[in-house]
Amino acid sequence: MFEPVIAPSGTLLGLLQRGRGDGTLHALAAPRAEALQALNQCVLRDPRQDWQVENRSLYYARLYLDLDGPLGDIESHLFSADDPVDDSDHRTGLALSVLGHLASYGRDDALILLRRYAASGANWAWALDELALRDDDEGLLSLAAPVLARFPATQEGEGRLAAAVRDAYEPRPWRLWEETAEYGTRLGAARRQGSFDRWQRQLTPNGPRPGWGVQAVFEWAADGLRRGTPLHVPAARCLAAVASPEDRGTILAAAAGAAGDAARATALHHLVLAEPENPVVLDLIEAAADEPAVAAYERMTGPAALDRARSWIHRPDALGEAAAALLASHGEAEDAGLVLGALRSTVRGSGPDSPRLYTLVDGAGRLSIGCAAPVLRHIYRETASSQLRGRAARALAGTDPTFAAGFAVECLWDCEETTREVAARHAETADARVAPRLRRLASDPAEEEDVQSAVRSRITPETAL
């Protein structure tokens, strides 16, 4: 897996990598060869910070349609010499998802390419899932032989087949194949084995048991920490179930560190919910100020925690960051200045892609901090995260009077459905591009229901979109 190199935000490649609406608009205005080169680079070298939560596939597929783009570069990428040795989702997942959307739009070349890859590619399972949503029964039946040939008729092969059937994201192909005379017996056995494996795992006891006390919970948490699996959060839930008033002294002592790190983290996570207004708990968090203590503090939302946040927000450590996030999420109008200061200092110190900005951007919108608009616009333009850009767009909708005629228009082409929804509710229809785009979103079967609902809320007899 490689780290994507993101081009400057003012370039066509940089706009497309970020999934900005302006990327599509600039690509359609650029020479076709230049636009296709940038588009192919994005699809073949996934530019997302977190490919599991950020959307790009529909955005890129729509641009392939608008440019009538050929799929030769995607084909070469999928069937390159790297494929047999690298079956990672990150290498091929975006390209396969783009092909899936193109197949939905009627691109037969995309459908054929998906079938070929499902039959012989390393990441065949992803391709099969795409086909399960788009292909007809005949096309899926043609893949039974090459897919099942991947699982030899040995004990190991049958075990891998059972796991594949059990873990399939889209079960339609497997069910279709199971209905055939040729493969039904084998796939029926694999399905039953997968179900048995899942049931057997559920029966394996590896956690708390009836009759446990406070000390047993602490020991369970310590054992998890020794194995490299922190268990203080579930252990804190167990503690709430087994602790009695007589155990309070033991729990407070553990929270102060008397019984080790795992017990301290467990006790703190328990106390922030059991005694959220106890200043002693906040004193213990301040004294520790390490990762478990900060994580425990992040679960607090009451008045006492907010009061401490106002004094801790200037700390240059993780506890100060948690205090800023708490005020952004739960603070009151008088906290707007503190949240704005934290937002500005985070951008200056960590840049427009800092994970800490998510909550602060939301807080700027929640508290309607009008003077935050300039820094929100900067984050919107520069961040490589489409998720953060969408949050900035939502905050701008409530803080920037120029949003409806500015960024909201380009957001109609954004890669994130939630950002398109915001744009559909706010984009100024005086811009000649808005009404045709709203019509296209309303009629596109691939568009999300929430976006189309927002579009329909704008369509009235008076506007005659």
Q: What is the pLDDT of residues 288-313, one digit of tens each?
A: 889 999 999 999 999 999 999 999 99
CA-wise closest residue to 167 among 140, 195, 147: 195
pLDDT in tens, 407-425: 999 999 999 999 999 999 9
Please tell me the predicted confidence (pLDDT) of residue 1.
46
Mean pLDDT of the residues in the chain: 91
Q: What is the SS3 assignment for 158-204?
A: HHHHHHHHHHCCCCHHHHHHHCCCCCHHHHHHHHHHHHHHHHHHHHC
Q: Note whether 127 and 91 are within 8 A (CB).
A: no
Counting residues of the chain whose pLDDT is more than 90, the rounded percentage is 73
Q: Note whether 161 and 190 are within 8 A (CB).
A: yes
Please tell me the predicted confidence (pLDDT) of residue 460.
61
In sequence order, the 6+-apart residues with CB closer than 8 A to the CB of 2 are 45
Tokens of 175: 């069910």
Q: Note whether 187 and 178 are within 8 A (CB).
A: yes
Alpha helices in 383-448 (DSSP H): 386-399, 407-411, 417-426, 434-443
pLDDT in tens, 364-409: 999 999 999 999 999 999 999 999 999 999 999 999 999 999 999 9
Q: Note whether 139 and 131 are within 8 A (CB).
A: yes
Please give the residue that has the higher pLDDT: either 207 or 308.
308
Confidence of residue 212 (pLDDT cuts 50, 70, 90): confident
pLDDT in tens, 336-351: 999 999 999 999 999 9
Confidence of residue 458 (pLDDT cuts 50, 70, 90): confident
- C-alpha torsion sign, points 19, 23, 24, 30: negative
238 CB neighbour count, 10 Å cutoff: 21
Query: Is the per-residue pLDDT at 206 higher than 80?
Result: no
User: The whole model's pTM is what?
Assistant: 0.89
CA-wise closest residue to 351 among 304, 320, 385: 385
Residue showing tokens 């608008």 = 66
Q: Note whether 265 and 296 are within 8 A (CB).
A: yes
Cα angle 258-261-262, degrees, rounded to a multiple of 5: 110
Cα angle 368-373-377, degrees, rounded to a multiple of 5: 135
Q: Which amino acid is at 440?
A: R
Q: Note whether 28 and 395 are within 8 A (CB).
A: no
Cα 229 from Cα 222, distance rounded (Å): 9
Confidence of residue 465 (pLDDT cuts 50, 70, 90): very low
Query: Is the per-residue pLDDT at 126 higher than 90?
Result: yes
Please give the residue that has the higher pLDDT: either 228 or 212.
228
Confidence of residue 49 (pLDDT cuts 50, 70, 90): confident
Q: Note whether 421 and 394 are within 8 A (CB).
A: no
Greatest distance between any 2 Cα atoms in the chain = 76
Among 30-44, 114-128, 261-275, 344-358, where is mean pLDDT lowest?
261-275
Cα angle 46-388-354, degrees, rounded to a multiple of 5: 90
Cα 80 from Cα 121, distance rounded (Å): 10
Query: Is the per-residue pLDDT at 175 higher than 90?
Result: yes
Residue showing tokens 């309607």 = 368
Query: Is the per-residue pLDDT at 3 higher than 80?
Result: no
Please tell me the predicted confidence (pLDDT) of residue 202.
47
Tokens of 272: 């922030």
Q: How many CA atoms lie within 13 A of 268 on its CB side?
A: 32
Please give the residue that has the higher pLDDT: either 199 or 83.
83
Please tell me the predicted confidence (pLDDT) of residue 195.
59
Question: 211-214 — which CB contacts under 8 Å span 24+ positions?
Answer: 212/238, 212/242, 213/242, 213/247, 214/239, 214/242, 214/243, 214/247, 214/250, 214/251
Cα 44 from Cα 148, distance rounded (Å): 28
Confidence of residue 73 (pLDDT cuts 50, 70, 90): very high
Cα 114 from Cα 388, distance rounded (Å): 32
Query: Is the per-residue pLDDT at 174 higher than 60?
Result: yes
pLDDT in tens, 183-197: 988 898 888 885 555
